[in-house]
Amino acid sequence: VLVHAQALLTSGPQGRTDYIEADLRDPAKILEAARRTLDFDRPIALVLAAVLHFIEDEEAYPVVRQLVEALPSGSHLVLSHLSADLNPVAINKVADTFRKRGFSFVLRRREEIGRFLSDNGLEPLEPGIVPSRHWRPDHAADATEARGAAPEHLEELDHLDQGQYVSIAEATDEDVNIFVTVARKP
């Protein structure tokens, strides 16, 4: 991935881009690299998609604080976070398989996800911190068709994997297991 990204994600007349290899638990390294490409005098989008569940509280909250502190006013945090609030049985099975292999896997409650915002003075945009399918699903595509899945193949998958093929318009909260929010730094 790194080699392909460095070959393809290059800067050009349309804009500047960069791809770095770094551990999220080392925000200083990420910020140092980001400053070489991004203009920190203008609003920045910080996207933490389905990654904070790999980091324990002692590091996760300080990491987000350090990253958000570096951003100028008007920046936004885009956050998605796995949770056991919605379908505990299915997601705890996933968590167990990771933990057995030595990974941290922290399924935070909605309030705990909210702390990434409130601790840093971030203001959530409407509709707040919601299961992903509720976050402005205005361009719902038929995922089964889009992914070209054969119906007989779908039946072989467990409930969680079948979820990848459910249209967002038909998905339930039990299918998604993930909260999403976008919040603005005043």
Q: 28 vs 50, which CB is nearer to ligand SAM?
A: 50
Of residues 95-154, which lie at the interface with ligand SAM (CB under 6 A)? none
Contacts (CB under 6 A) with ligand SAM, residues 32-71: 49-51, 54-55
Binder of ligand SAM out of 18, 25, 70, 130 (CB under 6 A): 25
3-state secondary structure of 18: coil
Q: How far is the CB of 157 from ligand SAM (least distance, A)?
A: 18
- Is residue 161 at the binding interface for ligand SAM, with CB under 6 A as the rule? no
Count of CB atoms situated within 10 Å of the CB of 3: 7
SS3 4: helix
Q: How far apart are CA 34 and CA 47, in angstroms?
A: 13
Residue 41 in tokens: 């005098």
List the one residue from 5, 20, 24, 143 that touches ligand SAM (CB under 6 A): 24
* Nearer Cβ to ligand SAM (9/72): 9
Q: Is residue 45 within 8 Å of 72, Cβ to Cβ? A: no
Asked if 74 and 43 count as a contact pair (C-beta separation under 8 A), the reply is yes
Interface contacts to ligand SAM, rule CB under 6 A: 23-25, 49-51, 54-55
